Structure 1
Amino acid sequence: MANFFALIPAAGAGSRMRDELPKQYLPLAGKPMIYHALRTICSSLRIVRVFVVLAPGDDEWLRHDWSEFSGKLVVLQCGGATRAQSVLNGLQGARDISAIGDGDWILVHDAARPCLGETQLDKLMDELAGDEVGGLLAVPVADTLKRSDTSSRVACTESRENLWQAQTPQMFRYRLLVEALSMTGGATMTDDAGAVEALGLQPKLVLSDARNLKVTYPQDLALAELILRNS
């Protein structure tokens, strides 16, 4: 039986939030944003260990109390210049200190998705546990999509047929994910599934819902807090 591990890259600055504090530490429902993702993932009895990848020299982490996760949480200060590099560095660092097998599952989750629910997490693991490739949480695109020109005018309307909006966690076998990120370099990859796709493989889309939103702009914080308080 393959084991489940989780990895949360949290080495970015979140510049679109227009705040000096890195996005993962912004206050949300009385806690740093990353706390909420950690609580859901660390609470899963199926996940053996959770790795958080921080930027080297990240002192903000030490200003908060993470003791409730101490039995499962491991901090790695090896973040890279891009998300993909942080994930790859984290995977390599995790294996140095844990007995992770090539066939074990890695669930990579964004620190900026604080509203992940236990039901979504379990559904992802249930649907992919026997899959040959792995996959990700996602939702079908519901809105009409417009492509703009350089002057912010509509150039055309894009078909939304068969289009999905990717979420996290994204779940792949350890060896496959390391291979994918190493071969692509991650320079233009905005998610792990994209690196796996570049190998010619087809990750499975696991139906999620809009509550698992990504906090990108300041107004997203209010919506995330509303979801958390009503979940």
Structure 2
Amino acid sequence: MTDNAAPSRVREIRVARDISSAELARAANIQPPTLSKIELGQRGVTKTFANAIAKALQVRVEDLYAVVGSPIPPPTELDPPNRVFETSPTDRTTLIPMTRDIPVFGTAACSLNEGAFILHAGEVIDLAPRGPKIEYRKDIYALYVEGDSMEPWKRPGQLVYVDPIRRPNKHDRVVVVVKPDNSDYEQAYIKEYIKRDDGKLVLKQYNPDKVIEWPARSVVSIHKVLEPEDIL
């Protein structure tokens, strides 16, 4: 047996168990971006992860290595993961029941060392709860945060809601998708918007505090990150 369980099999069992990606990540004590990459085949899974995932999904570790499309095994005798109403994006202690149908399209990095992947519409890795102020917004999407350079505002693994329509103002947090010169792929980052002029995009990060500039020609899109008051 190898150290890498079939990523799509993990997702296949999770969906059959009616467990969201966020719930599985919490139950297995895995960062949501890490679990997303495992499910999408972006990275392997260690034996430690396999044990935790198997326990959370109520299967044997061996079941994670079965051929995709095999019958889903019945739950083991383990207690199922705890399932609760989602809390608000402000991490308040009040429990708020919300419909879960906001698509999560991937992750966005807070580090400049390496951007994170962002998926195209239709390639949904999870569903996030919908707040009352975006009840009728069908264009809103969500991403998981990677890296720690936007702490204390956001920590790794937290969810951000993104509005692709509303134009960002100075000091808004944004998801910026860039395609650097001589690169064959796009990368997504979360930063604070400062300005866009003189052929460049100027942004700010928090940890460490610094100003970042990108040539405007490298910028694919800039989408505003919603604050809790925009959602609840």
Higher Rg: 2
TM bracket, shorter-chain basis: under 0.3
TM-score (norm 2): 0.22
TM-score (norm 1): 0.22
By percentage of residues, which structure has more helix? Answer: 1
